[in-house]
Structure 1
């Protein structure tokens, strides 16, 4: 192939902080409206298309495999709210779904979900939102809110047609089908109804930080909306929501390490919010409302008594300090409590032990609070969640279960009997036998002796007597846990003889708050060295080889990819970085950029602290590119991404190509998309097929 890679011209700019100087040759790419920038990005897209043209057939094959394994005409299990059952429906050939509802039938079990026919419409079905119609004529489409008012009469929904996560909200009268005159522009995700008359929503500041909560009265212009809360401290975001009991509104104010909750009775929506516990640096808490033996309580998840959090309660009328709450779920060194959900007759707790997320249920009664009973399952690696339960007085809970080899299942769990009823299992058309695949855990030892868990999944008939091609995935930031999940796309990878592995590195949340703390701020390098230790273990134990191993990560995980490319380029045949945060120091030094100030508690504040500056400079992928051989790298980004700007991977690829002595470097920019990439399920499947085709080709071929 004679195609020559684009060469980004060098227009040096100088950055000076704390007496340190850095010359940046490619910062000019930040101007997304510049014809020179757009021409360069398009040239990179053309080059990537040319260099991957030989993958077109494999991409098409994988796309067709994905498509054949997805039940295109399908629906969700109905969820009851008020007098209706709500569900989603998809149709073959349509990119987006339909939101529907039917009335709760008289004389039936009010908590038994009705069976919805796959073809045709059930009696009384109402399509309340047709996303295909809304998306028509637009290259990109995303929904930010779809919220029905308390009575069921009105639907508030918001849309984004650019990918920049700024939404426009409309209100539809579901009785008449007509849109109201109300239009709310430039809002953030979500919309919270109070009755049929008020909507609470949030907006962002210039740095894309949700900073203000607004009250909108239906039937009035947006100019008349009232700012009920504004957070001036740039470290904090705000959010708004209601209790399941429909008695309280909560405004959540949170930074990475500190939180505060404000409350208002829903029967007084034009009243003043009040703080429950004033913020204290390093103390995080979340609140729900419970009624036990006729008395109102706050049920609080907090870390005031230990880093792994505990759950306590106090009377709404006699509120105790956080450190003096009555304890429902105590702090434990080996259990990370993640939160609770309260209902009229039970409380559900979510927590993490031994790297696995778990759930437990407590029944409530006239005698008061009871004891938590954990829901148990048979697999070693799985994910369980209790969610999709909007009704306060429901005697059943929806429980979802999934693993690497078990397609997603949804159960009704009867709290009084402990009985499970399977409502739906993800269908894999064409046949799927989970016995043909295996999933298990391995461990790697980090440089400081810490044991790092590795999740591994592959075909059961794979020859394990010799090394095999492997995709190693990692993230490792924000205390986010990479939990087990089923993927039909991944079947195309494994059926071609590849192993899929996840490195649960520090900076994530799999093993508790300490696990997170040891992978952030001035300990961030543990994330990178943990990932390298996992690769070394897989190589040393004969699972794979550097010639057959591909690494993948996205967003903050993309920074992980950039760091290990610099630190251990010989461990990997190739690296795929999706919307990668590879120029972190430049971004974190710009308080005006989206998310920057709020991120100082995650990465450190190099703007004011020279020690943090030096530490981040020492691992920044972009700034540490060297004249040496690198793995082949594919970077994927989106022009309208507001979370990780396209300029970061663009600069990174330009510098790699100008500096490295070996390696092929490709950049693919979606010109109308955001942080989540392309919209529409078929486009997403095709993008996933392309990414896996590239990975499979690299892992199974030794050609450079």
Structure 2
């Protein structure tokens, strides 16, 4: 009784503090953003500081955090409850399914209470002695942020190269260690992408150097163990700032390849892993030609959109690879109804990941005979090719999950069809039988049918009274599959519905779905999202006035635009690291990602892109209107969406928004685009944002 009274007193005290706290007011400092299409006033441009040391700017961010603390204080008990529920669904001492490579079984495992995994292996069998490659919890000690972005074992299985980031800005440091004994080699290379490839000599490492200002992937270099980084040999330099770069070894391990990719073109060049020399082009870049190539059985298998908007697979022999596209022949034809998203070649078959009707399925294609499909019993699910490091196997390993089914790792025999369960993700206290998932279709204002994945608790009544959280992304052709999320049951158990709106801008319905949701069609993403909300309300899945929207990064742009276009449809909006200052960012080529993304958003230095982008940019369209309750987050060291975009947006919203709905801005001073590192710490942030959102929706305990 005394404890309850004390807790109530604390909540009442926190509520009083929240009511008296005043939101920070950012100073207005006139500044003109110029462009070939005219100048715009930006009173909050001063909040940008690339050094992140401006005392006035930092003081404003700290004031926002202090205000957030005050406003969110009454939700602290709910935050703690949600956090306990979420982490209670995570097995503390879990481990991954081991995969076999060169006779070693590789896996990761967590110890109870640890935020970071141990990476380990065992030789021959899983009963052999364990070799620890990386103990990431020890490596992260004392760091506010920690990430291992890539780790690669040398071909002779003796050395480990890995990429480490302790800031959160995705400027990794390449390091090397001996696996036996764990001694660190003196080799370190700063400012690299988390993408490393060994040559067969066990001493040459290929890596990608980043531009120190734009953070673009610019140069591929070769580092020889024992030599200083200053002596590293330049292998390839990308002159076009609209291209990203990546490195890989082919499935059969015979080639090291450099992949260059923009929104509208790709190019791949490869060299022998055994005797690296000049890199030979698979096909030169050509606008609107996207392809990826892999090698097995003395031939190249190529996924290409040439005369195939939904892609097809083609093949070319080693002897003909330099003869141009005319030497390629069809392997799997294109289809108007099936979008080929990915493939993995094996010695005796090809695994193809494809989309049809808005869901992804896997097809196993033998050299001769009929292809077979991996089946699902649910209307909405996520299925993906898993780690398959042994091309000589007959078994395809894949993962399957849904909004109700925890991730399950299977392997299926490509010849017999036999299927084996390797692991079901343990979720303590969770029973999938208590929940129901649905796939519904909402009609957008232009008549387009938009797929929506839904989940709710069994016994839910579609009576128009429930609260709903609706999520979407809708950019870059990234499809948001309805995968299991340990956070969601906390919503469903409180009577809520959770929805993923598969809006245009992804590729759930094929390449045209993406084409109709970017550049001068970008507004379709926003209107699709709004129309899905209105349809779900009309169908009784949610009450009008009890809908929250969630999106992050480019999905933050989506919900930021929705906040301007349809504020009355949402009680709350949760915008994570949102890309909201579209025009100003895309006018500045020094900002990371800008030049890579002209073909995603448009180049505002040109018309009509400037006018169109300006018409939906969330920051530029803030007006005197009643906005929903807003929870906005950012990381000071974010390299993808710079911290000042959401900061400026929040400052402008505070100066213009009418009404009494709260606006909370949470700034993580030690993190980047992905928020806090560590498997538990990020759920603290999630619980805080969800407690705010549920409170605004009137969701009862």
TM-score computed with the length of structure 1 as normaliser: 0.94
| 1:660 CA drift (Å) | 1.2
Task: Show CA shifts across 1:380-428 (max 9, x none).
Answer: 1111112211122223221111111011111122222211111110111
Alignment match, 1:331: 334
Shift of 1:16: 2.5
Contact 2:251 2:296 in 1 (8 A): no
From 268, 291, 299, the counterpart of 2:301: 299
* SS of residue in 2 equivalent to 1:496: coil
Q: Does 1:659 align with 2:656?
A: yes
In the alignment, is residue 674 of structure 1 matched against residue 672 of structure 2?
Answer: yes
Question: Residue 169 of structure 1: CA displacement?
Answer: 1.7
Greater Cα shift, 25-34 or 637-646: 25-34
Distance in 2 separating the partners of 1:78 and 1:625: 50
After TM superposition, list the pairs within 5 Å mapping 1:46-445 onto structure 2: 46-105=66-125, 114=126, 122-195=127-200, 196-205=202-211, 206-269=213-276, 271-291=277-297, 296-319=298-321, 321-322=324-325, 325-364=328-367, 371-430=370-429, 432-445=430-443
Does the CA-based 8 Å contact 1:503-1:534 persist in structure 2? yes
Give distance in 2, aligned partners of 1:462 and 1:49: 35
Alignment of 1:38 with 2:58, yes or no, is: yes
Aligned residues: 676
The answer (yes or no) to whether the contact 2:35–2:587 under 8 Å persists in 1 is no
2:4 corresponds to which residue? none
CA RMSD of aligned residues (A): 1.4
Q: Answer whether contact 2:320 2:327 (CA < 8 A) is retained.
A: no
Report deviation, 1:371: 4.5
What do residues 535-565 of structure 1 show as CA deviations (whole Å, max 9, x unaligned)?
1111222221332100010000100111111
* Match in the other structure for 2:11: none
Cα distance in 2 for partners of 1:422, 1:539 equals 39
Q: Contact between 1:191 and 1:199, CA under 8 Å: does it hold in 2?
A: yes
Deviation sequence 1:332-385 (CA, Å, 0-9, x none):
111111122112222111111111111111234xxxx55532211211111111
CA distance in 2, matches of 1:16, 1:244: 49
Determine helix, strand or coil for the equivalent of 1:318: helix
Task: Measure, in 2, the Cα distance between the counterparts of 1:670 and 1:56.
Answer: 18
SS in 1 for 2:676: coil
Q: Match of 1:276, SS?
A: strand
Matches within 5 A, 1:606-685: 606-607=604-605, 609-662=606-659, 663-685=661-683
Cα displacement string for residues 423-478 of structure 1 (whole angstroms, at most 9, x for unaligned residues):
11011112x22121011112111121111111110101222223210001111100
Question: Deviation of residue 322 (structure 1)?
Answer: 3.4
Q: TM-score, normalised by structure 2?
A: 0.95
Tell me, in whole angstroms, the C-alpha distance in 2 between the residues paired with 1:218 and 1:416.
44
The worse-fitting range, judged by mean Cα deviation, of 596-605 and 534-543 is: 534-543
Residues 1:323 and 1:532: Cα distance change in structure 2 (over 3 Å): farther
Larger deviation: 161-170 or 385-394?
385-394
Kept after mapping to 2: 8 A contact 1:18/1:610: no
> 1:128, 1:220 → 2: CA distance?
23
Q: 1:553 pairs with 522, 529, 551, which one?
A: 551
The one of 505, 513, 516 equivalent to 2:514 is 516
Cα deviation, 1:126-170, whole Å, max 9, x if unaligned, reads 111100111011111011111111121101112111000011121
CA distance in 2, matches of 1:223, 1:371: 54
Residue 110 of structure 1: aligned partner: none
Alignment of 1:11 with 2:44, yes or no, is: no
Unaligned runs of 5+ in 2: 1-18
Distance 2:128 2:241 in 1: 51
Does the CA-based 8 Å contact 1:257-1:282 persist in structure 2? yes
Structure 2 distance, partners of 1:176, 1:465, is: 64
Deviation at 1:321, TM superposition (A): 4.2
Farther off after superposition, 87-96 or 456-465? 456-465
The whole-number CA distance in structure 2 between the counterparts of 1:95 and 1:349 is 35
Cα distance in structure 1, aligned partners of 2:157 and 2:575: 44
Q: CA deviation at 1:495?
A: 0.6
- Determine if contact 2:494/2:699 at 8 Å carries over to the other structure: no
Match of 1:493 among 464, 487, 491: 491
**Structure 1 residue 90 displacement after superposition:** 0.3
SS of the residue aligned with 2:20? coil
Change (3 A) 1:510 1:84: same
1:111 paired residue number: none
Mapped contact 2:640–2:673 kept (Cα < 8 A): yes
Report the Cα distance in structure 1 between the residues aligned to 2:386 and 2:255, rounded to whole angstroms: 20
Q: Aligned partners of 1:358 and 1:322: how far apart in 2?
A: 29
- Aligned equivalents of 1:671, 1:601: Cα separation in 2: 32
SS at match of 2:320: coil
In 1, Cα distance between equivalents of 2:585 and 2:370:
48
Partner of 1:109: none
Where structure 1 has 5 or more consecutive residues not aligned to the other structure, the ranges are 106-113, 115-121
